[in-house]
Amino acid sequence: MKAKALILDLDGVITDTAKYHYLAWKALADSLGFHFNETDNERLKGVSRMQSFEIILEINGASSHFSEEEKQAFCERKNELYKSFISTMTPADILPGIPELLSRAKAEGVPVAVASVSKNAPAVLSALGLSDSFDYIADARKITKSKPDPEIFLVCADALGVPYADCVGIEDAAAGIEAIHAAGMKSVGIHVAETGLSPDIPLSSTEELANLEL
Ligand code: B16
Ligand code: MG
């Protein structure tokens, strides 16, 4: 491996929680009589919970319809539903290619970090049996700026003590690829056909990570 560190997104890279985020937002949007489909959902990937709700409101011309307290309550409602979905997850939900990538990195002494802005990331990693599989897991509660800001990738690289240019970031969302580039890192993008991403290394699925030269 040429990379001196790997920094992985969680939702959509290590596991497919992106579908649960979508189902939970969809249920909330339906209950409010709002339009929301999978194309709209692409804009929510890698974006914080409240920012995600703001995007749904904007799509529906409802940005000024609710107070901050009401918005918090709706976000909480979405999160409760999301938590009920992730409570069913097991190690079988780790996406293909990820165990092989982690084993290769370990064998070659390349540290690996998780750059997820999800406050549920520790619970998801625990359900997958991966809590102890990373050298560093960013604390989403301490990240002040969501992707596409590079903050979370820079925090991970700093924690690992690796120069930004020697890090490879792996993402499934446009905001994430933008964040990796803004951090001065090399990017790998998953599901590029569906999302129209422009990463340095485009992949159609995580399976390709098993043998990819990084
Ligand atoms: P939560 P990532 C992001 O995770 C998701 O892509 C995004 O859809 C979600 O809104 C965000 O986490 C916040 O998640 O509500 O669980 O705190 O892609 O950075 O792993
Ligand atoms: Mg993601």
Q: Which residues line ligand 1 (CB under 6 A)?
A: 9-12, 21, 44-49, 52, 79, 116-120, 173
Residue 195 is predicted with a pLDDT of: 66
Residue 191 is predicted with a pLDDT of: 82
In ligand 1, which atom is closest to the CA atom of 114?
A: 20
| Domains, the chain, with CATH or none | 5-16+90-211 (3.40.50.1000), 18-86 (1.10.150.240)
Task: Tell me, yes or no, if 158 is annotated catalytic.
Answer: no
d(CA 55, CA 51): 6
Chunked into runs of 10 residues, the chain (214 residues) has average pLDDT values of 96 94 98 96 90 97 97 98 96 98 97 96 96 96 93 98 98 93 96 78 95 92
Residue 197 is predicted with a pLDDT of: 76
Task: Tell me, yes or no, if 93 is annotated catalytic.
Answer: no
Residue 190 Cα, ligand 2 centroid: separation in angstroms? 9
Residue 205 is predicted with a pLDDT of: 93
Write the DSSP string, the chain: ---SEEEE-SBTTTB-THHHHHHHHHHHHHHTT----HHHHHTTTTS-HHHHHHHHHHHTT-TTSS-HHHHHHHHHHHHHHHHHHHTT--GGGBPTTHHHHHHHHHHTT--EEE----TTHHHHHHHTT-TTS-SEE--GGG--S-TTSSHHHHHHHHHHT--GGGEEEEESSHHHHHHHHHTT-EEEESSHHHH----SEE-SSGGGGGT---
